[in-house]
Amino acid sequence: MSRVYNFSAGPAVLPEPVLKEVAEEMMDYQGSGMSVMEMSHRSPEFQKIIDEAEQDLRDLMNIPDNYKVLFLQGGASQQFAMIPMNLMKNGVADYIVTGQWAKKAYQEAQKYGKANKIASSEDKTFSYIPDCSNLDISPDADYVYICENNTIYGTKYKTLPDTKGKTLVADVSSCFLSEPVDVSKYGIIYGGVQKNIGPAGMVIVIIREDLITEDVLDGTPTMLTYKTHADAGSLYNTPNAYCIYVCGKVFKWLKAMGGLEEMKRRNEEKAKILYDFLDESKLFKGTVEPDSRSLMNVPFVTGDKDLDAKFVKEAKAAGLVNLKGHRTVGGMRASIYNAMPKEGVEALVAFMKKFEEENA
Ligand SMILES: *Cc1c(COP(=O)(O)O)cnc(C)c1O
């Protein structure tokens, strides 16, 4: 067996101890004689798995009691519709467009009401986070929407926008559990788990209880109503049971690692190794304004498309895979999520140095 350093933006690298544990439990989960994949979601064994997963997530993020944790399907993209369907009581919402995912959410919301683009960084290919300290918030906005870490462009909010009292909704798909957050500042925090937590196929929604109501837009399907899932403890229908199980293992791994303060320390340390090199390199250049840099997704270019392609190809041969940038940005992108060890980033930088010397 030989493992590579996988810099994919998602689905992405998982912690090796977690992969080993789930492999060991594949044929016989804790004496049940079956895999979690084969288990009823109504069984006491599975109820314990989902309860522990929720509790461990609550511990990690310090989630206040007046928030529900929902394990849902449909990915992060389904939330682009579910959020307006459930929250647009006045039919108005404000969107800050800092990349493709925010833009998609903004466009989807227009199907359900008046979505206002109150700030954007599209003028400079989303390479920065706009100043959100004094935005023109709509007086009747039901919520203000952000994508907190922009997976494709590698930017992250360092301070949350001043929403002037309006409910903040945040897509945190690619920075979920990368550092501590104050959940009480948000109405909804949600993210697809395939970036920084677990396998693909699930989104976790952390939602303040007063936002969970029966008063949703006309025609909202039962399955797209938060209350349906909140009332049923995420077991209204068959959930992505195996994904919940693997995510639960990742939560335990994070706790054992020292929790989110420690993850933040590690993530800052890893990102610094890469950004410091990019700042001094004569060949490679980071594409993001320094004060907006993400700890998780690091895009960079050589400025020469052919050389970029050569780099991606040679890196792959050296066991450093999935470094090709998003098709809309080009160049390279290294996603260095929680499960990427520091050694992986060091190996990448050593390879970049060597490539720079060879191609000077
Ligand atoms: C990947 C990603 C999405 C889309 O996730 P799906 O689960 O594929 O729908 C949305 N938002 C962000 C920030 C992402 O990184």
Sign of CA dihedral 83, 87, 90, 93: negative
- Is any atom of ligand 1 closer than 6 Å to the C-beta of 294? no
Task: Supply the DSSP string of 248-277, one letter for each residue.
Answer: HHHHHHHHHHTHHHHHHHHHHHHHHHHHHH
Q: Please, are residues 288 and 128 in contact by the beta-carbon 8 Å criterion?
A: yes
Q: Which two tokens stand for residue 111?
A: 């199907």
Sign of CA dihedral 236, 240, 245, 248: negative
Q: Ligand 1 centre and the CA of 81: distance in Å? A: 13
- Is any atom of ligand 1 closer than 6 Å to the C-beta of 100? no
Q: Which two tokens stand for residue 157?
A: 């909010």
pLDDT of residue 115: 98
Nearest protein CA to atom 3 of ligand 1, as residue: 76
pLDDT of residue 344: 98
**Annotated catalytic residue 195:** yes
Q: How far are the Cα atoms of 74, 207, 234 from residue 212, in angstroms, in the given order?
A: 19, 8, 13
pLDDT of residue 328: 83
pLDDT of residue 360: 82
- Is any atom of ligand 1 closer than 6 Å to the C-beta of 55? no
Q: Which of 68, 166, 195, 270 is catalytic?
A: 195
Whose CA is closest to 271, among 255, 288, 254, 258?
288
**Annotated catalytic residue 171:** yes
pLDDT of residue 128: 98
Across the 360 residues of the chain, what is the mean pLDDT of every consecutive 10-residue run? 94 98 98 97 98 98 98 97 98 98 98 98 97 97 98 98 98 98 98 98 98 97 98 98 98 98 98 98 97 98 96 98 92 98 98 96
Q: Which domains does the chain show, CATH number per domain?
A: 16-256 (3.40.640.10), 258-359 (3.90.1150.10)
AA letter at 295: L
pLDDT of residue 1: 73
State which of 78, 150, 173 you would mutate to test the pocket of ligand 1, scoring each by most atoms of that ligand within 8 A of its C-beta: 173
Sign of CA dihedral 25, 31, 35, 36: negative
- Is any atom of ligand 1 closer than 6 Å to the C-beta of 75? yes
Q: Ligand 1 centre and the CA of 101: distance in Å? A: 7
Q: Please, are residues 252 and 258 in contact by the beta-carbon 8 Å criterion?
A: no
